[in-house]
Amino acid sequence: MTQRIFDGLKVIDCASYIAGPAAATVMSDFGAEVIKIEPPGLGDPYRGIATRPAGAPTSPNWEMDSRNKKSLAIDLASEQGRDILYRLAATADVFITNYPPPVRKKLRIAYADLAPLNERMIYVSFTGYGETGPEAAKPGFDVTAWWARSGLMDLVRAGPDAIPARSLSGMGDHPSAMGVYGAIVTALYQREKTGKGGQVGSSLLANGLWANANSVQQQICGETVIIQPPRHESARPTLNHYRCRDGQWIILTVVQTEARWQRFAEVVGDGQLAADPHFATASDRDARAGELTAKLDEIFASKDFAEWKPLLEANGLIFGIVQRIEDVARDEQAIAAGVLVPFEGEEMLTVSSPFWLEGQQKVAPRRAPSVGEHNDEVLAGLGYSDSDIAGLRAARVID
């Protein structure tokens, strides 16, 4: 049997929606046992909010972010439900929650409540805006605390006069989950050195500013950070995107050194662009950026992407395809590189955690559990008898 780095590690996912739970998903990919705590009945509200194709039994997003987990549906507002969590915490290595601090205090699942039960446990706190300051108790989603508050929403507009750009579902949550994962692994390393657990935390605000750190730091240092101009007004035509004859967009990342420009101009312009005196130097090209962009629009519109791709690759020119989402879902390179992997025993793919470790084989993704699917198994492992479990079910403490 393959030994995985987190084999034997028990993680309690007492969080909702995406960022906190997705960090637990990464742990599960490398062998951790993840027990998902959900309220009885409907379970994690993310089950119902995430998009679901017509007729599908579950949401694709739920399947991705809750793969490999065991579901324990308990009423944490009850004494008996809380006792179950306390017993579980006493045996756990990691406890993850994104419940707002006032809710944790009310339910008695704050760090001060759980730390005395298990000195080796890592308590992971994830919030919208941090745990100190006037907005510490304020709830937040990635669209508000990560995307809008960080300045990203403002800066990626199509131009200064365009309205702010909307984010996509989970766009901030999944990168934030990697910040949470990093905090967990750092705390586990500390535990290896000290023998003690402790509390770690992160927030959507912190991860949003980290994602936008270049612009934020420039502003802090007194530089003026401007919204990207419309593409036809860009001062860097060789860092722009262009539409091919077949409608496919291509994005260039050709640094404007003199040598690189000459090579680029010869390859794409059939010699005419390279010989054009209007674009001979970098300052010429900067001064006539709009004119050069218009010329490149004409040039790239003369061939299909399938023609441009081998030509640019053969000449070492860096570019990328602005890939349509329907093509991303079956990207040959992503599949070959293990970025898209199949669910265990199925053809349907899912997105793997974004790193690999030499000598480690990730767990084959297993379908997400139904609400309370593992109640009996988890409770039996904590020492509850069949009659105890029946009594908890009768009292509606569990499903």
Q: How confident is the model at residue 256 (pLDDT cuts 50, 70, 90)?
A: low
Q: How far apart are CA 94 and CA 92, in angstroms?
A: 6
Q: Has residue 80 got a pLDDT over 90?
A: yes
Q: Is pLDDT above 70 for 142?
A: yes
CA pair distance 274, 268, nearest whole angstrom = 9
Residue 298 tokens, joined: 């004409």
Confidence bin at 257 (pLDDT 50/70/90)? low
What pTM, to 2 d.p., does this model score? 0.93
Q: Are strands 10-14 and 241-243 parallel, antiparallel or unpaired?
A: unpaired
Q: Which is nearest to 315 in space by CA: 374, 280, 274, 368?
A: 274
Residue 345 to residues 4, 52, 178, 342, 366, Cα–Cα distance (Å): 20, 22, 27, 8, 9
pLDDT at 153: 96
Residue indicated by tokens 């742990």: 27
β-partners of residue 340 are 351
Tell me: pLDDT of 178 over 60: yes
The mean pLDDT of 352-365, rounded to a whole number, is 96
Tell whether the model's pLDDT for residue 305 goes beyond 90.
Answer: yes
- The predicted structure's pLDDT at residue 387: 97
pLDDT tens, position by position, 35-50: 999 999 999 999 987 5
pLDDT, mean over the chain: 94
Q: Per mean pLDDT, which range of 40-54, 160-174, 235-249, 282-296 is the poorest?
A: 40-54
What is the rounded distance in angstroms from the CA atom of residue 157 to the CA atom of residue 147?
Answer: 12
Task: State residue 369's pLDDT score.
Answer: 96
Residue 236 confidence (pLDDT): 86
pLDDT band at 231 (very low <50, low <70, confident <90, very high): confident
Structural domains of the chain sorted by starting position, each given as residue range(s) with its CATH number in brackets: 10-211+357-394 (3.40.50.10540), 231-243+249-321 (3.30.1540)
Contact 123, 181 (CB under 8 A): no
Instruction: Give mean pLDDT, residues 318-335.
Output: 96
- Section 269-276 average pLDDT: 86
pLDDT higher than 60, residue 23: yes
Is residue 130 left, alpha or beta, with left meaning phi > 0 and alpha meaning psi from -120 to 50?
A: left
